[in-house]
């Protein structure tokens, strides 16, 4: 009898520990830092789409912007495809050669990139949000 009770106690302890660990291992909400972006400032880019990347975990716009030294390529990070889709974006929303105006939070380190805030497409109509963070 004592052996059976001890086995049951050990089994109950094993099941309890397994259940607790399983609950603790549930997926956590992902946290994406925006520490690399100057979220207090806005930069306006006017240029031509080189590539619109509809990819996980974030979509990207590669845009060619005229500069005094020639054309500069900027990489603009957006939200996830599912977020953009809910806001009316589709994989073919932007095509190479489209003229766009983008407002971004630029990279703090000065590299040619940033986080999408807003913009207008080739028709001049404003884009709905495509940013993973709060809109300013």
3-state SS, residue 84:
helix
Residue 108: pLDDT band (50, 70, 90) is very high
Q: Which CATH number is associated with domain 43-120?
A: 2.40.50.140
pLDDT in tens, 4-17: 666 565 566 665 65
**Could you give the C-alpha distances from 49 to 31, 45, 62, 83, 126, in angstroms and in order?**
29, 11, 6, 21, 16
Taking the alpha carbons of 91, 96, 98, 101 in that order, is the dihedral positive or negative? positive
Helix (H) or strand (E) holding 60: strand 60-67
Residues 40-78 have pLDDT tens digits of 999 999 999 999 999 999 999 999 999 999 999 999 999
């Amino acid at each position: 009898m004592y052996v059976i009770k001890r086995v049951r106690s050990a089994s109950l302890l094993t099941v309890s520990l397994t259940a607790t660990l399983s609950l603790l291992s549930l997926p956590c909400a992902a946290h994406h830092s925006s520490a690399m972006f100057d979220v207090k400032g806005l930069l306006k880019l006017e240029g031509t789409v080189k590539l619109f990347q509809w990819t996980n975990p974030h979509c990207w716009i590669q845009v060619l912007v005229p500069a005094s030294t020639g054309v500069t390529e900027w990489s603009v990070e957006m939200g996830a495809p599912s977020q953009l889709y809910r806001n009316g974006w589709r994989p073919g929303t932007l095509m190479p050669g489209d003229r766009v105006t983008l407002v971004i939070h630029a990279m703090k380190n000065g590299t040619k990139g940033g986080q999408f805030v807003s913009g207008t497409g080739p028709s001049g109509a404003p884009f709905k949000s495509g940013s993973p963070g709060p809109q300013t």
